[in-house]
Structure 1
Amino acid sequence: MAGIKTISYGENAHALRFAEASGFDDVVISNLAGLVSESAVSNIVWESSGKFYTPPLSTGCLPGVTRSLLLQYFGVIERDTTPSQLQESEAIYLVSSTREIQQVNRYNATEYSLSSSGVELIGKFAEWVRGNLEP
């Protein structure tokens, strides 16, 4: 049932409650094939070798507005990844219409810093939103 917002919302809400009860702010959700799909409330973008990636819709993630804009205008690339590969990335971001682009500080035991490429992407996206979207 992945990709159907009303059903995956309930599953994601349950996963988020579990994560919060365990002391985390959010949770990375993987599909049955073991590929990262999304977080409980956002799409995921990660940085590796100066490029930005997001899971393809085939993983079961929802086609979020911010995700779509990043793919269309900012050179983000769709790519499969596993949770262990995600943890090895240089930076991880949660993206949504309400968060825009928010850096993940820690995933499992790995801590992340905001890279200069990440600062640039966040700034360019915020500028694009201000110039192209009506309030």
Structure 2
Amino acid sequence: MKRAFRRAIEVAGLETSQVRMFKSSGADARVVLGAANPADWPHEPPAIEMYVLVGFDGSIGEVDIRCSATDGDPMMEVFTAPNLQNCRCDLADLAVTLKEVWVARREVIGRVAAGEKPPIFDGKWNWTPASHLLP
């Protein structure tokens, strides 16, 4: 699984920041976490993250992808930058989906810079700041 994440990140044109696997105490599965950046990413928090649950029976869930549409530090803009919502794919589609997310992220950054207010729908996913999701 870790190799599959690394390979998908590489095929998507990004660099692996980290890939880890650990046992989940509540999900009866292992969790595989991945993080990736473009080559020139200046921030410590990764530009894009993903995770998947791998059952002890060998079943593989959908990969959940997380990303903020900002060139700034994602931690400093956690409540203001549009965040990718409900982006999931099969492991076999991860490389293609990562490429699509990265392109959509650039487009959302451009739309925000042009004055569009989030939430933003890019044709496939919604991008919403965390502040809009709070009660």
TM-score band by shorter chain is under 0.3
Give the TM-score normalised by structure 2: 0.28
Greater fraction of residues in strand: 2
Give the TM-score normalised by structure 1: 0.28
Greater fraction of residues in helix: 1
